[in-house]
Amino acid sequence: MKLELGKIFIKDIQFADTTEIKDHVLYVSKKELTEVFLTEEKIKEVEFDIAKPGESVRITPVKDVIEPRVKVEGKGGVFPGVISSVDTVGSGKTYCLKGMAVVTAGPIVGFQEGIIDMTGLGAEYTPFSKTLNLTCVCKPVEGTESHAYEQAVRMAGLKAATFIAEKAKELTPDETKVYETLDLIEGANAYPNLPRVGYVQMLQSQGLLHDTYVYGVDAKKILPTILYPTEDMDGAIISGNCVSACDKNPTYVHENNPVIEDLFEEHGKTINFVAHIITNENVYLADKERSSNQTAKLCKMLHLDAVIITEEGFGNPDTDLIMNCKKIEAEGIKTVIVTDEYAGRDGKSQSLADADVAANALVTAGNANQLITLPKLDKLIGTLDYVTKIAGASDTTLKPDGSLEVELQVITGATSEVGFNKLSAR
């Protein structure tokens, strides 16, 4: 499976009468984009804004972050089974708009949504302080239930990213990168002396408002399966979950999965990157046993020498993490787990809800309970009405001077980015 990923660098976003891309500037028509959002009947209205790196801007509560991508050649389309038809993706040619993102937000009551700060301490913990963000604040039709609102905002964000990406279809990429995974026998013959390495990605799937979708299917309904790593780059996996902001992989992170990127960088040099295995994180013990059994079996079938495992969420999924680790290790396969920790504000509590001696190689993404103070910023996109309700905040979060005292877990993408950067440095 070979994918050519063409990168078109966006250097600015401006509002205009027509949506188009010229000279690395994305011009956005509010009228045209509003029409896209209002195709979702549960959305009453939407307000657009632009947040740029270094500006004194806070965005909250954030639902999803999406990088616009469009399929130019090859089978299927981006976000298969959701926006495009159900077809196997990950081959051919795809264009992506680098340096920008579509950010959906809104008064999402009771959800564990997060904060993006474009400057200050908070900006140091999120990758999305470094992107040009087209923000879309969605207001629901009165009486809309939370889960229906979440679905509407999720779908509208994907539609908007698709609409924008289509404007790049006739452009010439600034840079093209080729990603290729050989079939199993071809790969074994091509790299007979390199260790066979796989990536096991645990997807959040604990139930309503805690879902991830694979080719449009709720991940809690799948058995662990093998993907070509490039399928992820075409949007085969999208976020639909509302776990703590630092533990949630927005759709942008799936599209730009840094573990996959790093493994491709070493592919054919120091390792043979064999496969991307996805598994879920269900809540019942029987489901955990079933999925971890299947994951270990797939690793053995692929004759892997080593595996990297990443977790999404914390607490209950820690059990899935340790089950996967110890069962894969029991097959004689070395594992490295990547996770954040919840060790209390003083860092002295047990950091994971489960443990095993097999988990003796760990890359930590830091303590999500770490207390930080975010300064008041000049501009707010969204609302602070619910800031005391999100995970990592409290009734005393909002201070008289406008600053926010919160745990690190409120920052969108916080610990994932830190952990992946540490993985890259190993």
Assigned domain for 85 exists: yes
Domains in the chain, number = 1
Find the mean pLDDT for residues 397-407: 94
Find the mean pLDDT for residues 112-135: 94
Report the range of poorest mean pLDDT among 141-150, 248-257, 283-292, 294-303: 141-150
The pLDDT of residue 351 is 85
Active site residue 136: no
Find the mean pLDDT for residues 256-272: 96
Assigned domain for 186 exists: yes
Give yes or no for residue 413 having a pLDDT over 80: yes
What's the per-residue H, E or C state across 133-198?
Answer: EEEEEEEECCCCCHHHHHHHHHHHHHHHHHHHHHHHCCCCCCEEEEEECCCHHHHHHHCCCCCEEE
First to last CA, the chain: 28
Assigned domain for 416 exists: no
The per-residue pLDDT of the chain, averaged, comes to 92
Percent of the chain with pLDDT over 90: 77
- In this prediction the pTM is 0.94
The string of pLDDT tens digits covering residues 141-164 is 998 888 888 899 999 999 999 999
Give yes or no for residue 253 having a pLDDT over 80: yes
In whole angstroms, give the CA distance from residue 410 to residue 421. 19
Assigned domain for 422 exists: no
The pLDDT of residue 419 is 41
The pLDDT of residue 422 is 39
The pLDDT of residue 108 is 66
The string of pLDDT tens digits covering residues 198-221 is 999 999 988 777 899 999 999 999
The pLDDT of residue 416 is 52
Assigned domain for 205 exists: yes
**Band (415; pLDDT cuts 50, 70, 90):** low
Contact 25, 11 (CB under 8 A): yes
3-state DSSP percent of the chain in helix, strand and coil, to 5: 25, 35, 40
Calculate ∠ Cα 408-125-422, nearest 5°: 105
Assigned domain for 120 exists: yes
Give yes or no for residue 335 having a pLDDT over 70: yes
In whole angstroms, give the CA distance from residue 229 to residue 239. 17
State which residues form the domain around 84.
Answer: 2-410
Assigned domain for 423 exists: no
Give yes or no for residue 39 having a pLDDT over 90: yes
How many other C-beta atoms lie within 10 A of the C-beta of residue 357?
7
Place of tokens 């079996």: 297
The pLDDT of residue 417 is 45
The string of pLDDT tens digits covering residues 8-20 is 999 999 999 999 9
In whole angstroms, give the CA distance from residue 253 to residue 251. 5
Give yes or no for residue 184 having a pLDDT over 90: no
Find the mean pLDDT for residues 268-289: 95
In whole angstroms, give the CA distance from residue 239 to residue 316. 19
The pLDDT of residue 123 is 96
The pLDDT of residue 246 is 86
Who has greater pLDDT, 207 or 177?
177
Contact 387, 404 (CB under 8 A): yes
The pLDDT of residue 334 is 97
The pLDDT of residue 109 is 57
> Of 96, 138, 242, 246, which residue is the catalytic one?
242
336: left (phi over 0), alpha (psi -120 to 50) or beta: beta
**Band (425; pLDDT cuts 50, 70, 90):** very low
How many other C-beta atoms lie within 10 A of the C-beta of residue 184?
15
Assigned domain for 229 exists: yes
In whole angstroms, give the CA distance from residue 72 to residue 99. 20
In whole angstroms, give the CA distance from residue 16 to residue 276. 41
Contact 101, 252 (CB under 8 A): yes
Give yes or no for residue 243 having a pLDDT over 80: no
